[in-house]
Amino acid sequence: MAMRRGIAVSPGVAIGTAYVIHEIFVNPDTKRLEDSQITAELANYETARDKAGADLRALERKVEAQVGREEASIFAVHQAILRDAAFTNKIRSWIVDDKMNSSAALHRLLGEYTTLFARTNDEYLQERLNDVRDVIIRLGSHLNDAAKPETGSIVGPLIVVADELLPSQVVALGDMDVHGIVTQKGSQTSHAAIVARSRGIPAVSGVSGIARKVKTGDTIVVDGRDGHIEINPNSETLKAFKKLEREFFDLKDKLATNRDQPSLTADGCELRLQGNINGVADANAACAMGASGVGLYRTEYLYLTHPSVPDEDEQYEAYRAIVAASPNHNVTIRTLDIGGDKTVAYLGHDHKEANPFMGWRSIRLSFEHPEFFNTQIRAIVRAASEFPEGTVRLMFPMVTTVEEIRKLRSMVRRAYKTLNSRGIKTKEVPIGMMLEVPAAAVSISTMIDLVDFVSVGSNDLVQYLMAADRDNPKVAHLCQPLAPPVLIVLKNVIEVCNRANVPITVCGEMAGTPRAFVLLLGMGLRRFSMSPAFIPSIKQLASQISVEESERIVAAVMKFKTTAQVKKFVARLIERIAPDLKMLSTE
């Protein structure tokens, strides 16, 4: 039995069979080829090379048409690497002379290039290593198409174990019976964490070396409450965790029965509990959990999982499907929020920044590619116009200044004009801003008249206010949503919006956290958007606390000077009000 600790990112307890998703070359097959296999292996490599070349040519054409020639040039570079004689000859010689399979040869080549480029501090050459790596991984993905592990022989519910869970890997998991997720990399706001919470799956991230320690078929326990896992536990430990797992599922089942009940506080104040989603599956989950709508649809996952760049019609169909699947056809669609920890090759691939979270990202990047951005706006407006009985809102991320809002409104007007000139009927779409930049929070009173609604992105707002990268373990202790400075800023923003009668929602992860929910309620917030799986527990908590009581809690908390005081005080109160919900909280 082995125990490993990581970061608790999605609460609950799960037991299952490990299913290890290795990065393409984590453990390449080193078995030597038979002489009779060499010709077939050369043919396999050439087939993969042809497919990779076709991918890159198609990408170059599509990106050039939709984004620009300069942005498409990265794929021309990748084609040149793929055609490079030295690159190809090394692979062929290792297959023939050393009897290596293609994947092992590619892994060896990547190692050689990594060693070579590690000797230089030249940023340009280091970027070229990234290009070589991209080409090798693309080749490897085609080589491994026929060799992907099947799960049919794995018995029982699955615990997915990976280096990090990428959007494309999530799509590949499909309808597998996943009960838990463990990753080597990641944080509370990583893609794996967001996916796990949206589906109510216990998850632990930041478990160093786990993908090498665990093998597919092992029994594994995931405790998403305090962030630890057990590998092949003994019978006594397994029995104890099975009891906890049953309690977790029983509580989830019990809470799920409130899906058709109204979202009311103990004294009858009506709340809007909405879901944060990445795709149609999450929209269906929001319906199943009793959400009143979708408070945040993250459109970047459409781009991250698309094989190239989605055009207007493809985006329109995707957004239309989202609205159709969402509760009451009520959806807030956020425009592309690429940058920081999420990138695509044709937008900013070659643009290295010392601090990407505070640099060229979100609408800043969108402004630099206006036609690309306009395409998305038109697709959203078209989808919204298909549902006259619903409410589709258009939200822009990382708004910092009044000038940006005015520019965004001008771009939306241009989209209407273009669509109307094509004979496409449109309807007015409310325009809002995601408040996550401290400058916008401080000057919200100057912006409030220019927007129809405000959504607080607490994840980024907290890290920017505290000047602490939320993914950096050295400073992660500073990224606390319940820190007094954060609470002061949030209370002011909520009060300004309420006085102006402008709807305000918190759609960051803190909206679905019991301790933060109670404080936001007491500050005057009535709209919350969270991972769909959290809606039943927050609805239950809301029914057990009055607005007056939450206001008294806020009044007391605003006098505290430390985060520890706030957390301890509110946790003690919630344990008294709703003791059952402890199982659904992370430490």
Residue 327 has pLDDT above 90, yes or no: yes
The last residue of a domain, from among 120, 143, 166:
143
pLDDT bin (cut points 50, 70, 90) of residue 147 is very low
Same domain, residue pair 243 and 263? no
Q: Which residues, in sequence order, are bridge partners of residue 162?
A: 21, 183
Higher pLDDT: 451 or 533? It is 451
Q: What does the pLDDT read at residue 547?
A: 97
Secondary structure (3-state) at 6: coil
Answer with the residue of higher pLDDT: 289 or 341.
289
Could you tell me how many helices (H) and strands (E) the chain has, helices first?
A: 23, 16
Mean pLDDT of the chain: 86
At how many degrees (to 10) do helices 535-543 and 514-523 cross? 50
Percent of the chain exceeding pLDDT 70 equals 88
Residue among 447, 436, 577 nearest 518 (CA): 577
The DSSP 8-state label assigned to residue 236 in this structure reads H
Same domain, 297 and 274: yes
Distance between CA 454 and CA 161 in Å, rounded? 37
Distance from the Cα of residue 35 to its chain's centroid: 46
Please indicate, yes or no, whether residues 554 and 412 belong to a single structural domain of this protein. yes
Q: Tell me the average pLDDT across 488-505.
A: 98
Helices (H), 386-511: 402-421, 438-442, 444-447, 458-466, 484-499
pLDDT at 497: 98
Beta bridge partners of 396: 433
Q: What is the pLDDT of residue 135?
A: 86
pLDDT of residue 478 exceeding 50: yes
According to the model, what pLDDT value does residue 345 have?
A: 63
Whether 507 is a known active-site residue: answer yes
* Contact predicate 551/522, CB 8 Å: yes
Torsion of CA 25, 27, 28, 34, to 10 degrees: 180
Q: Which of 105, 123, 143 is the last residue of a domain?
A: 143
For 73-139, give the DSSP string: HHHHHHHHHHH-HHHHHHHHHHHHHS---HHHHHHHHHHHHHHHHTT---HHHHHHHHHHHHHHHHH
Domain count, the chain: 3
Q: What is the DSSP letter of 163?
A: S
The per-residue pLDDT for range 248-261, each reduced to its tens digit, is: 888 888 888 888 89
CA 434 to chain centre: 16
In a domain, 28, yes or no: no
529 and 496 inside one domain: yes
CATH code of the domain covering residue 232: 3.50.30.10
Give the C-alpha distances (Å, rounded to integers) separating 59 from 66, 309, 337, 516, 536: 11, 8, 21, 44, 43
* 27 located within any domain: no
What does each C-alpha distance from 115 to 108, 119, 120, 232 come to in angstroms? 11, 7, 10, 36
* pLDDT at residue number 47: 92
What is the edge-to-edge ordering of all strands in the sheet holding 203-205?
Answer: 2-5, 228-231, 219-223, 13-21, 158-162, 178-183, 203-205, 7-10
Q: Rounded to two decimals, what is the model's pTM?
A: 0.80
Residue 202 lies in a domain: yes
Distance, in Å, from the CA atom of 259 to the CA atom of 496, rounded to the nearest integer, reads 32
Please report which confidence band the pLDDT of residue 488 belongs to, taking 50, 70 and 90 as the band edges. Answer: very high
The answer to whether residues 89 and 185 belong to one domain is: no
Residue 400 predicted with pLDDT over 90:
yes
What's 399's DSSP letter? -
Tell whether 543 is covered by a domain. yes
Q: How confident is the model at residue 473 (pLDDT cuts 50, 70, 90)?
A: low
Residue range 352-356: mean pLDDT, rounded: 63
Q: What is the mean pLDDT of residues 374-383?
A: 96
- Sheet strands (E) in 136-263: 158-162, 178-183, 203-205, 219-223, 228-231
Out of 113-122, 164-173, 414-423, the most confident range is 414-423
Q: What residue has token string 């709807």?
A: 503
225 within domain boundaries: yes
Task: State the residue range of the domain holding 411.
Answer: 257-584
pLDDT at 142: 81
**Which pLDDT score is estimated for 148?**
47
Of the three residues 200, 218, 252, the one that is the final residue of a domain is 252
- Write the CATH number for 64: 1.10.274.10
- What does the pLDDT average to over 204-220? 87
Residue 174: what pLDDT?
62
* Alpha carbon distance 3, 40 (integer Å): 44
Percentage of the chain beyond pLDDT 90 is 50
Question: What's the mean pLDDT in 255-275?
Answer: 94
**pLDDT score, position 162:** 86
568 has a pLDDT exceeding 60: yes
Same-domain check for residues 420 and 521:
yes
Contact between 316 and 382 under an 8 Å Cβ cutoff? The reply is: yes
Name residue 25's amino acid.
Answer: F
- Is 30 part of any domain? no
How far apart are alpha carbons 212 and 362 in whole angstroms? 35
306 is catalytic: no
Which residue type, as a one-letter code, is found at position 520? L
Residues 45 and 13 in one domain: no
CATH number of the domain to which 418 belongs: 3.20.20.60
Three-state DSSP string of 243-264? HHHHHHHHHHHHHHCCCCCCCE
pLDDT single digits (tens) 532-553: 989 999 999 999 999 999 999 9
Report the alpha-carbon distance of residue 358 to residue 516 in Å, rounded: 25
* Residue (of 248, 331, 255, 332) closest to 290 by Cα position: 255
Considering the candidates 179, 191, 329, 369, report the single residue annotated as catalytic: 191
Query: Do residues 454 and 493 make contact, with C-beta atoms less than 8 angstroms apart?
Result: yes
Looking at residue 359, its amino acid is G
Q: Is the residue at 211 inside a domain?
A: yes
Do 102 and 164 reside in the same domain of the chain?
Answer: no
Q: What is the pLDDT of residue 146?
A: 42
CA atoms within 13 A on the CB side of 418: 16
d(CA 571, CA 541): 13
Do 274 and 243 share a structural domain? no
| Residue 149 pLDDT grade (very low, low, confident, very high; cuts 50, 70, 90) | very low
Mean of pLDDT values over 1-21: 87
Answer whether residue 68 is part of any domain: yes
Q: Which of 126, 149, 129 is nearest to 137 (CA)?
A: 129
Interval 451-468 mean pLDDT: 94
Instruction: Identify whether residues 484 and 502 lie together within a single domain.
Output: yes
* Mean pLDDT of the 553-560 span: 97
Both 460 and 506 in a single domain? yes
Pair (296, 385) in one structural domain: yes
Measured distance CA(235)–CA(216) in Å, rounded: 20
